[in-house]
Structure 1
């Protein structure tokens, strides 16, 4: 009993220290967000000035090109009928043409510099916007954590075991969210962001070529169309990974069919999907849970099982939805898979994936069962009650 009280006091101290650290972290994030917002405003103002300068210098280049054309014509006339002109007139014609060439070269170099500077600022503005969005999200998450720590967990001495589990899960969820944000940030930066920058450059090239070389302009437009199409495909893929829109538009079964087909094509693992007696429209909470469970299960099969084939069976038995997922992989010892709280990771790869699936099912008051032996594959069996809309958990 004495040890229990000691642990409770220790936990209260940890909570208080966490609240202080989170509060300081929140203030620092707010300060970073404000500085980023000011920096973005400064960049936006600078971008407007650069746009005006680019427009002005392009207009000046067009005038210089026109003047140079006239000067070359004059020079041609002078050379053709040099007997009609004095020596000073000949020298002036050459000098005017040289001056225009030099001035045009300088202006074109200035144009290249300004366009590069403008593109760099546009990229920095996009990066600042992403940073602000992440900062705002972090402020919200830290606020929730502060409210949670300051409220329900403030006097959690009698619920110490439950508190420790929730605290650990909270850390894992935050880590998973941050890893997911980093992954999406990398995907956006390396994919659509780079493509958009290329689109801007290609559009500028087309704009310059359209009146000079229509053939090259068409080639650049074809390249521009391909880049745009690829960028759109990347954006759609990122959106699908966040949440497949087909789940809302078409329902669970068509979305699962499309996902299984895509998984088979990407991995060469033969996955079959069978459905029995599931002829009712499932509630959003159930549809999303089933989709994420299948997604996580197939991900575990790909990463850990070395399986060549797998099967998924969805069937309705009275008022319960039963999902059975079987693979012919290497299997594992179910007793050896547990979440190691001290190391913040699973003792076996995939352990946290199984644990997260189990938690999803528990939220819907369902049952989760894992059967596996080394060398004999793995079977997951999930039973979820088909609850009414008003009974669905938040």
Structure 2
């Protein structure tokens, strides 16, 4: 129910937010002259606002349903059941809901970690959440699997190779997350202050909707005023890098593309060229941007809807299977989401830790991707 709420039920409301921003943006665009200022207002300002407002419905549904489960007495029982196995990896029974929610989106999952009383286990849970296979990874997985993994099937077509690869990518994220928390809980955070897992099982009861609604709205307000500010600023910065010096529609000659050429030597050990470097840089805003950026660079209109056409273009570009697999592994591990990074900084109140986490997961993703490319 929780995943359905975050991944399905919230979609109409998220679409409504996007539609409203597009409608207002269209009205504003109609009264502005063509040029840099209009592009900045529509793409940077409205795009920046939309980049965090679109998450508000998910935050609301998450906090409302988690509050419903908590006030009804169910969440306490689920935490008790999951505590023993998760404790072996330095986590808590209350980590189960954030880790599960992380497979839809890391933003509400990190918010869900607030129910964990132990500072140590909450910290480790937050560090594990970005490794869960969130929905933003799906477009990237779908494109790269279609481009590099044969559509072989087994057992009369019941099981397909592409589906197996999908599963392995999700499993890899969970495995690495538990490995990371297990190591950190026994080394760096071994002596960090912790609180024992003491949980009184409340009686089952029917929750009152008024405090649930108030709590959910308060969480949305905090997200908008704190994490939203950081997300907006980074969105504008990335837009500037992708727009200048030649204007809209010239991404391949922008400052962002120049950065892609600069980091091309870093991409080459993975079998990738500058185009994939640009796509990786642009997807720092959101992983799903990777598909649209590659579509622009390969000259495919509407790449998000024409995944098959873009996959064929990638296949004909001469990129090897090993390079494709290395890219899949990189996206399975790397923290390529500015919204998540901004929220981690806010929740942990540490810019340093957020930067270290970003660099550590990026380096780990790069090393594993390089190993995969060398083997395959």
- TM-score scaled by length of structure 1: 0.22
- Greater RCO, CA 8 A, separation 6+: 2
Structure with the higher strand share, 1 or 2? 1
Of structures 1 and 2, the larger Rg is shown by: 1
- TM-score scaled by length of structure 2: 0.23
